[in-house]
Chains A and B, each alone.
Chain A
Amino acid sequence: MAISQYRQENQRVYILHTYPFKETSLIAELFTEQFGRVAVVAKGARRPRSSIRGMLQSFQVLLANWSGKNELKSLNGLEWCEKLTVLEGNALMCGFYLNELMIRLLPRDEPYTELFHFYHETILALSVGEELTIVLRRFELKLLQALGYAVTLDQDEDSNPIIPDKIYRYEAEYGACDLTRTDHGIKILGKTLLDMSKDFYQDKETQQQSKQLMRYLLGFYLGDKPLHSKQLFVDLQG
């Protein structure tokens, strides 16, 4: 049997989350450059002298070796490989939010290499103090697009170009349409959609409306179960 095809070495990964498994182990949810979301058992990682215990932290690029052909694989090795990234304060909270979104929305064992690179850039953006709302909007949009959900921003449902000063209704899975056509979705200014399509978020109104749009769209795909990390944000601001 060709074991080798089940063995991956020196793969760039991020840790999205870990949770206790059996007596001294952890399950780590990895986001890997080549294989997307992969779940591994880190055997003995909760022992006091474990060599990888301190490394199993989120927001750092690590090099991982793992093996196994089932959904739950075995972590065989972990190494530092890049500059240490430091997320502080609200940037750290945003990091948790990104990780929770990914765990909730990304299926396991499907490659999302482009998204991995975008996630990497996003973490770096958070670490150097870029404006959090803008960083989050960009990532949310990229994530939905990577998942294959069409989020059309420069054309309406009938493929007509979006008019900047027109108010539309935006509905998940359909896109922008005339206010008169439906009660579903949310109201949004054409300019916001165009700004988003051009990745331009400097305008305050665009920031506000794009937040509402992404909240609505993510809510549509996430379903009823709320995001824990978002609640923490609310608590912090309250």
Chain B
Amino acid sequence: MKNTEALEQLVDALRCLPGIGPKSALRMAYHLLQHNRKGAAALSSAIANAIEVLGHCSLCNNFSEEPICSLCASNDRDASLLCVIEMPTDLIMLEQTRSYDGMYFILMGKLSPLDGIGPKDIHLDRLLKRLDTGLIKEVILANNFTVGGDATAHYVSELLKSRGIKLSRIARGLPMGGEIEYVDSGTLAQAMIERKTINH
């Protein structure tokens, strides 16, 4: 079927998105070609441009057009605090809280021992370089509370051991407005294990 070769190519290309199978890819392709050719053109040039101009910030490892991103270059941030996170989306979430004004380091993944994703895949060499600047007084691990996130947090903490930097990990527990009756047992069990002293 020579006459649909371009369509097949597009479907194949769309499948590189996470969680997109052949059916969804075909649906997306039809939508773009049939209902939104303008949007498709914009998408195509935006992708081409992003690949061309975006690199990684040399400090936080986030995507950036400049060698140092605007967050890292800002004078309003506390340069003694470094929060280690897994993905850029985590940064967006943390920024939305408006309750953290330190710096970030983005691992761009997490350790997954059984899948062969090891330390070399999560840019720890760049994290260490960042710590060697001597400006950072506290590292806050904001890894996910999954076994992979726990493994990553452990690995990073081992790396930091000999550096005399204060290390903490974000707390976990009940969600805001959470009612004990409705929370899942795992979260509740963790909240009990990691309970906080009020006075003693």
Contact = CB atoms under 8 A, between A and B. Distances in A.
A84 B189 contact: yes
Contacts of A60: 186
A236 B158 contact: yes
B150 to A, nearest CB: 6
Nearest to B18: A20
Interface in B110-130: 111, 113-116, 118-119
A103 B147 contact: no
Contact of A229 (B114, B146, B150): B114
Interface in A56-86: 57-60, 80, 83-84, 86
Contact of B119 (A20, A51, A80, A232): A232
Contacts of B193: 84, 86
Interface in B127-155: 146-147, 150-151, 154-155
Contact of B118 (A54, A86, A87, A235): A235
A17 B114 contact: yes
Contacts of B177: none
A184 B44 CA distance: 61
B146 A23 contact: no
Interface string B169-188: 00000000000000011110
A46 B19 CA distance: 9
A96 interface: yes
Contact of B151 (A24, A51, A55, A93): A93
Counting contact residues on chain A (CB < 8 A from B), the size range is 35 or more
> Secondary structure at chain B's binding surface: helix, strand, loop or mixed?
helix
B151 A23 contact: no
Nearest to B116: A228
Interface residues of B, number: 27
Given A54-B187, A236-B158, A228 B113 contact: yes
B74 interface: no
A96 B115 CA distance: 11
Nearest to B20: A23
A157 interface: no
Contacts of A236: 155, 158
A232 B21 contact: no
Given A46-B19, A55-B186, A84-B193, A93 B146 contact: no
Identify the 7 closest CB pairs spanning chains A and B, nearest first: A84-B189, A80-B185, A229-B113, A96-B113, A228-B116, A23-B19, A232-B113
